[in-house]
Structure 1
Amino acid sequence: MKKYLFQSRWLFISPLLFMVIWEIVSRMIGNDLIFPRLLSIFKAFINIIKEKNFLFIVFHTLKRTGISIGISLILGILCSILSYKYKFFYILFFPFFSFLKSIPTIAVIILVLIWSNVEIVPVITGIMILLPLIYENILGGIDSIDRELLKMADIYKISKIDVFKGIYIPGVYYFSASGIPALIALTLKVVVAGEVLSQGSLSIGGEIFMGKIYLETSSIFAWVIIVILINFLLDIFLKKVNSELTKWRNL
C-alpha cells in the first residue's frame, strides 16, 4: 500500500517539476514567441475552449481518427485471416506491410497529399500508418492461440462459429489489448500531423497550422495540451473497458 502511495505522490510531483523547469527556462529566454510562459499558454488554452467552434474542431479530428481506426481494423482483420489460412497471401502481403511499416510518416503524408483530396489526407495517412501494426497484432494473436485448445474443440465437434467466438476472438483480443491505447494514440498523432500539412479546415491540425502562420506559439502549445488530454481520457476509457471485458479472469 505504501508503495502505491509513494508512486501516486510522484505522479503529482512529476508534472509540477516539469512546470517549474518550463517556467525557469521561459524566464531565462524571455521571449514568448520562442518559448512562451505557462501563463500565456494557460490564457491561450482558455480562449480556445471558449471558442464556439472548439467542440466541432475536436469532433472532426476524432471523427477522422475513428474512421482511420475502423477501416484499418476491417482491412487488418481480413488480411490477417487470409495470411493465417493461406501462405500465398502471407507472402503476397509481406513486402506491402513491410513497406508501410518502414516508410517515414512525413513521406506518407506528402505522398497522400499528391495522390488524393486534401480533406481525406489525414484519414488515408492514419490508415497507412496503423494498418500494418493492426495486421501484425492480429496475426500474432492468432498464432499465439493454444493449439491444444483448438484440438479439443475439434474432438468435441464444437461448431466453427463457437470456436471463432469462444477461442479466436478472446485469444486475439487478450494478445492485443495492452497495445490498443498506444495504437489509438499513434493514430491520433498521425491524423493531427496530416491535418497540419494538409491545412484541413475545422481540425486540430489546421488550428496548429494557423498558430504557426500567425506566430501564436502559445496557441500551438495549448492545442498540444488538448491533444495530450484527449489521449489521456481515451487511455482511461480503454483501460476501463478492458478491465470490464477481462473481469472474469480475476474471479
Structure 2
Amino acid sequence: MTFTMKDKGNRSKIKIWAVLLWLLMWEIAARSIGQEILLVSPAVVLFKFLQLMLTLSFWQSIAFSLLRIIGGFLLALCAGVILAGISSMNTFIKELMRPLIAVIKAVPVASFIILVLIWVPSRNLSVVISFLMVLPVVYQNILEGIERMDGQLLEMAQVFQVPYGKRLRYIYLSQIMPFFKTAASLSLGLCWKAGVAAEVIGIPRGSIGEKLYEAKIYLQTPDLFAWTFTIVLLSVGFEKIFLLFVDKLVKKVERG
C-alpha cells in the first residue's frame, strides 16, 4: 500500500473531537478545583480574550512582539539558508560552523536571554533570541537537504549543460523545499516560545511578555490564560500563512 504526502498530511491534522474532549476535561478540572486563581474554565478564558481584543493596548502589544519575533525568524531563515549553501560548497566553513551550531543548540534559552540582555536593550531582546533559536534548525535542515540531493540528476544536468537558472528552479528548489518547509514549521513554534520567554525576563514595555509578567505578578489567571491563547493563535496562524505563501511561491517559480 502506498502512502502519499497528502495522506500523511491528512493523518497529522488535529481532530475536532479530540480538541472538544480536552476542553471538556479542562472544564471539569476547573469546576472540580473551584479556584479561579489556580485554574480558569475555557469559557472564562474566551470571554477575557474577547475583552482584551476591544482594547488598544492588546493590539499594540501584538504588533510590538510580532514584528520583533517574526523579524528574528526571517533573519535566521535567510542566514541559515545562506550559511548552509556556503557550507555545502566549502568544507572549511562547514567544519567551522559545526561547533557554533552545537553550542547554540546546547545552551539553555534562559542562559542566552540573560547573556544577550547584557549587550542588547530589552526592546530588541526577542529579535536576537528568536534568531539564535531558529538558526540551527534552518541551517541543519537546509544543509541536509543539499547533501541528500540526487547526484546523478545533477550530473545529468551538467552533461546536458542545463542553464544554472533552470537547475536552481527545477532541481535544487524541488528537492530542498521539503527540508525548508520542515525547518520553517519547526522553528516558528520555537521562535515564539523563545521570543516571549525573552520578553518575560527582559520585560520590554508594551510587549506580550510584559502582559504575561503582570498577569503573573497580580495573580490575574484569566489574563494569563488569555494572553497564552493569543500567543498560540499568533504562532499557528503565522505558520499557516507563511507555509501557504511558500507553496504558492514554489508553484509560481515552477510554472516559470
How far the C-alpha of 1:228 sits from its partner, in A, is: 1.5
Residue in structure 2 matched with residue 225 of structure 1 by the alignment: 229
Q: How far apart, CA to CA, are the structure 1 residues paired with 2:75 and 2:233?
A: 25
1:243 Cα offset (Å) = 4.8
Within the candidate set 136, 145, 149, 1:132 is matched to: 136
Cα distance in 1 for partners of 2:161, 2:225 equals 59
Where 2:73 maps in the other structure, the secondary structure is helix
1:205 is aligned, of 184, 209, 217, to: 209
Gap change, CA 1:79 and 1:246, over 3 Å in 2? closer
Aligned residue-pair number: 242
Please give the alpha-carbon distance, in whole angstroms, between the structure 1 residues aligned to 2:77 and 2:181: 14
How far residue 94 of structure 1 moved from its aligned partner, in angstroms, is 0.6
Task: Give the TM-score, by structure 2 length.
Answer: 0.85
Once the two structures are overlaid, the 10-residue window that deviates more, 34-43 or 211-220, is 34-43
* Worse-superposed segment, 53-62 or 208-217: 53-62
Paired residue for 1:236? 240
SS at structure 2 position matched to 1:53: helix
Residue aligning to 1:86: 90
CA distance 1:239–1:161, change in 2 (3 Å): closer
Matched, 1:13 2:17: yes
Q: Does 1:48 align with 2:43?
A: no
1:59-208 aligned at under 5 Å gives the runs 59-208=63-212
TM-score between the two structures when normalised by the length of structure 1: 0.87
Code of the residue aligned with 1:236 in structure 2: it is K
For the Cα contact (< 8 Å) 2:138–2:184, is it kept in 1? no
Deviation at 1:242, TM superposition (A): 5.0
Unaligned runs of 5+ in 2: 1-6
| C-alpha separation in 2, matches of 1:84 and 1:240 | 28
8 Å CA contact 1:181–1:234 kept in 2: the answer is no
Query: Is residue 216 from structure 1 mapped to residue 220 from structure 2 by the alignment?
Result: yes
Computed over aligned residues only, the root mean square deviation of the Cα atoms, in angstroms, reads: 2.3
Q: Percent identity?
A: 26
Residues in 2 aligned to 1:51 and 1:132: alpha-carbon distance in whole angstroms:
37
SS in structure 1 at match of 2:56: coil
User: Counterpart amino acid of 1:81?
Assistant: G
Q: How far off is 1:223 after superposition?
A: 0.8
- What is the alpha-carbon distance in structure 1 between the residues aligned to residue 243 and residue 163 of structure 2? 32
